[in-house]
Structure 1
Amino acid sequence: MTRWTHVRTERLWLDEPVDGDADALLTIHRDPASWRHFPSGVVTDPEAGRTMVGASRRRFERDGLAYWSIRDAADGPVIGRGGCSVPDEGLGEPGWWNLYYRFDQRVVGRGYATEMGLAALDAAHDVAPERPVLAYLLEHNHASRRTAEKVGLRLVWRGPDADNPDPAAVRLVYLDRDPDDALVDALDAVGMPRQGLLG
């Protein structure tokens, strides 16, 4: 198995976060423009950047893979956070990898999410191929949907977004494979009822 704490793609440097990344990660996640599809998701906790760094470190140690800090120059500033990580609620067997991506709005539109996402899928399939890769997103976030589709995921679930303040919001789940019974049960346990499963 490859060590995935530092990955180089054609244009990106993907690295396990370090303490010095915390402020940039916080800035990206508290920018309302990066949450225009889910305004209530804006991060307000001033400790959130440090929490993100700590969570990634813990998950890299526990699972061999987690969300990276993303740069588009070797010594450049952090421009995003993304990758595959096992959420704590997905720790059953085999659990799942959650594919995540959020970027500084100044670099959105360059295809970085797709480039990072492809590397993240390679990493997830190397570290624990038995775990499906899942992307969980809002239906009206067309850019995020395109990214999920470009990296090869397919839509398997559509239904209400139970925790969204907008009662009309619709959640989508994309996967890299057909869901088996164990995964459907796990998703059901975290609020995605099986009646939304697409055949």
Structure 2
Amino acid sequence: MVHQLLMPSQEIRTDRLLLTPLTPTDIDDVHAVFSDARTWTHLPGGRHTTRAATVDLVQRGIGGRARHGLGAWAVRSASDHAFLGIGGVDMTAAGVWNLGYRLTPSAWGNGYATELARAAVAAAHDTAPDAPVTGRVLTNNPASAAVLDRVGLSLVWQGSTASPLPDGVERQVWSDRAVSRTQRAWLVANA
């Protein structure tokens, strides 16, 4: 994609992670994570059952980075460059950053999600300091809610929407600051 050639690489290194902008060469690694049922235990219907779904995800990530100056990263181990997943922030139609990540099960329990989320929040603040950083999780995923809390986001809404969920599960919206009524309405509608 030509627009990638016109942008700085935006590689970020944390203590243990190498974060690089998604590229088409990441599609197979991303698909391995997004098609793994274990990474979708909280929302089984989100699992990628076709490679085309992953291609679309990566292309949208690349386009978002070109439009907004920041987007999701390929997450790798800084020590051996092993692919661990994807994560970062994407700008939403509501003008808020959405923080998200999906890591391979072998990476779980090591604090990588928090390390990645801290880098993403800092990059979002540097790129568009007036845009809130938000995160959306399900109540059956307390580990991800704990990550949002650790990186400075607070719960701003919890409830149900028309989208189907497992019994007893609700959606949550978190933010690092107050959001406008319009932003809140969009976040709840898309939680």
Give the partner amino acid of 1:112.
Y
Contact 2:43 2:165 (C-alpha < 8 Å) held by counterparts: no
Contact 1:24 1:49 (C-alpha < 8 Å) held by counterparts: no
- Range that drifts further, 154-163 or 108-117: 154-163
Instruction: Please show how residues 1-199 of structure 1 align to structure 2 within 5 Å.
Output: 5-73=10-78, 76-87=81-92, 89-90=93-94, 95-166=95-166, 168-187=168-187, 190=189
- 1:51-101 CA distances to partner (integer Å, 9 max, x unpaired)? 2322221111100001100001366232111001013x33xxxx1000001
Give the partner amino acid of 1:46.
R
RMSD of aligned residue pairs (Cα, Å): 1.8
Contact 1:69 1:81 (C-alpha < 8 Å) held by counterparts: yes
Task: Please report the TM-score for the alignment, with normalisation by the length of structure 1.
Answer: 0.85
SS in structure 2 of the partner of residue 79 of structure 1 = strand
Instruction: Describe the shift of the 1:107–1:185 C-alpha distance in structure 2 as closer, same or farther (beyond 3 A).
Output: closer
- Range that drifts further, 45-54 or 142-151: 45-54
- Range that drifts further, 132-141 or 70-79: 70-79
Question: For residues 53 and 75 of structure 1, what CA distance do their matches in structure 2 show?
Answer: 23
- Unaligned ranges ≥5, structure 1: 193-199
SS in structure 2 of the partner of residue 47 of structure 1 = helix
Give the partner amino acid of 1:172.
Q
How many Å apart are 1:131 and its aligned residue?
1.0
Contact 1:4 1:64 (C-alpha < 8 Å) held by counterparts: no
Q: Which residue of 2 aligns with 1:195?
A: none
Contact 2:65 2:71 (C-alpha < 8 Å) held by counterparts: yes
- Unaligned ranges ≥5, structure 2: 1-7
How many Å apart are 1:167 and its aligned residue?
5.0
Give the partner amino acid of 1:44.
T
- Range that drifts further, 50-59 or 127-136: 50-59
Task: Please report the TM-score for the alignment, with normalisation by the length of structure 2.
Answer: 0.89
Give the partner amino acid of 2:57.
M
How many residue pairs get aligned? The number is: 184
SS in structure 1 of the partner of residue 51 of structure 2 = coil
- Range that drifts further, 156-165 or 46-55: 46-55
Question: For residues 190 and 55 of structure 2, what CA distance do their matches in structure 1 show?
Answer: 28
Contact 1:21 1:78 (C-alpha < 8 Å) held by counterparts: no
- 1:81-124 CA distances to partner (integer Å, 9 max, x unpaired)? 1001013x33xxxx100000110000101000100000100011
Question: For residues 24 and 118 of structure 2, what CA distance do their matches in structure 1 show?
Answer: 26
How many Å apart are 1:41 and its aligned residue?
1.2
Question: What percent identity do the matched residue pairs reach?
Answer: 35
- 1:158-188 CA distances to partner (integer Å, 9 max, x unpaired)? 0014212435320011100122333224335
